[in-house]
Every structure is written in structure tokens, then in C-alpha cells.
Amino acid sequence: MAVATREKLFSCTRRRYRTETVGGLEFTFQSLTEAEKSKFEKQVLNKQGSVKDDSRRRLLVLSLVDSKSKQPYLEEADISELGNLDGAVTSQLFDVAMEHVGFSDNDIEELEKNSQTTSAGGSPSV
């Protein structure tokens, strides 16, 4: 096993790709950079500090790519249409995407819990 150095750390910039079959179709997923992952985490929170209901679809837009060109084939405008897909298919795609980009099973839930705790700092207005 090689010893880590600063140079070796900063050489870890290549994207990783993974192809999985879901619903009888092959899908290719790309990894995210740290900056992309952090931006995603910010985008999925609404003003109240809760995770938006389209967070699963947003991750699919970021991670699904064409198997040959490795270019994303979805865009933000597709988020609404993705909501019409079979929930089991999107759930399976989301699970693969979560693992591939480096989120643990509970990261989105933890993000929501932490954001609600943070946003509750002042006295509640009733």
C-alpha cells in the first residue's frame, strides 16, 4: 500500500464511473467532486431547513451520464418529469447514486436533522 502524500491526495481528481442495470436498463453513474457534492447538499435544503422533496431527482440529474461520452444526459429542467417515473426505479437509481458519490445511507436524513436543529436557534414564533 502506498503512503499518502499531499501530491498523491491532489492527484485524486479523476471521475469514477459505475454501470448498473435497473429496471432492465443499463445506467452509468459518475462520481462527484467535493465541490459538486457540497453544492448538492446546499441545493436540497429549503428555506425552512428541510430536505426538498426533489432531492433524489436532483442527485440523478448530477450523476447519470451517457455511457460512451460520459456527459450528463439529464438537466435541471428534467427534475419535474423525473417525478413521473416509477418510484421503485427512481429509488433503486438513487440508492446506487448515493453509494457511488460517497453518501452513506443516512446522510440525507442527517442533513435534514442537522439543518432543522441549526435553523431552530432562536425563540420559536407561534
Helix axes 55-63, 34-43, angle to 10 degrees: 160
Are the CB atoms for 63 and 101 separated by under 8 Å? yes
List residues bridging with 27 in a β-sheet: 20
pLDDT, tens digit (0-9, with 9 covering 90-100), for 65-78: 999 999 999 999 99
Which residue ranges make up each domain of the chain?
Answer: 14-118
> Residue 17 is inside which H or E element, if any?
strand 17-22
Give residue 15's pLDDT. Answer: 92
Cα(120)–Cα(96) distance, rounded to whole angstroms? 33
* Residue 17 pLDDT > 90: yes
φ, ψ at 93 (rounded to 5°): -60, -45
Report residue 25 as a C-alpha cell.
436498463
CATH C-level class of 14-118: alpha beta
Give residue 111's pLDDT. Answer: 57
> Residue 8 is inside which H or E element, if any?
helix 6-9
pLDDT, tens digit (0-9, with 9 covering 90-100), for 77-103: 999 999 999 999 999 999 999 999 998
* Identity at 84, one-letter amino acid code: N
